[in-house]
């Protein structure tokens, strides 16, 4: 059984996971600010210019370097670096939202990024063609991975190699907002 709320301190090494479009980076940024812990976005370490993925060895090296500090908050699902990130973490936060919620969030985020031409990593930007007319679309990725990951993650998280993790499973954006507000209230109470 996974914990639904933190029991005590979250620690200073936290990983946020969830399917494409679940809001990992948004939650990680807020939590990073709240806890004053550096945020590491795995997408930024993985993507080269022109949407080319870094070679696995380079991605792993970048991840190792990013996690050298005593405190960090990582967001991302990459199995290529899971063995680097998860064993070092104290807490894992899983954004396990329903498919339609995730699809709606992904659509909103994608349309916003296309309209604003927001630069993501290494100068990359999302385009209508790439997201709606390409085999590399995140929407196709969501359909290909959502249900499989939802089945596999609970068993993976029960493995003895991750016994040290406090596991927090948030099942909706509202539950995530409430969780963050409770953390903020507790932090403010401690500093008062």
Could you write out the DSSP letters of every residue in the chain?
--BSS--S---SEEEEEESTTS-HHHHHHHHHHHHT--EEEHHHHHEEGGGEEPPHHHHHHHHHHHT-SS-EEEE---GGGHHHHGGG-SEEEEE---HHHHHHHHHHHHHHHHHHT---STT----HHHHHSSTT-HHHHHHHHHHHHHHHHHHHHTSGGGTT-EEEEE-SHHHHHHHHHHHHHHHHHHH-
pLDDT at position 145 is 94
pLDDT at position 124 is 87
pLDDT at position 89 is 96
Share of the chain above pLDDT 70, in %: 95
Q: For residue range 158-175, what is the model confidence (pLDDT) as tens digits?
A: 999 999 999 999 999 999
Judged against a pLDDT cut of 90, whether residue 147 lies above it is answered with yes
pLDDT at position 123 is 86
Domains, the chain, ordered by start: 13-184 (3.40.50.300)
């Amino acid at each position: 059984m996974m914990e639904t709320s933190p029991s005590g301190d979250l620690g200073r090494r936290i990983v946020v996971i969830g399917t494409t479009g679940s809001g990992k980076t948004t939650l990680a940024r807020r939590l990073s600010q709240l806890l004053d812990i550096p945020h590491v976005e795995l997408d930024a370490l993985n993507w080269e210019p022109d949407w080319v993925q870094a070679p696995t060895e380079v991605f792993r090296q970048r991840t190792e370097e990013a996690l050298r500090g005593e405190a960090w908050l990582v967001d991302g699902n990459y199995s290529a670096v899971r063995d680097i990130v998860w064993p070092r973490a104290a807490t894992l936060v899983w954004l396990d939202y329903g498919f339609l919620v995730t699809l709606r969030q992904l659509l909103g985020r994608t349309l916003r990024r296309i309209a604003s031409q927001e630069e993501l990593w290494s100068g990359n930007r999302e385009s209508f063609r790439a997201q709606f007319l390409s085999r590399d679309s995140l929407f196709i990725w969501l359909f290909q991975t959502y249900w499989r990951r939802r089945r596999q993650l609970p068993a993976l998280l029960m493995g003895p190699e991750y016994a040290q993790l406090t596991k927090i499973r948030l099942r909706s954006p509202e539950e995530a907002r409430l969780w963050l507000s409770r953390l903020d209230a507790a932090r403010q109470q401690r500093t008062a």
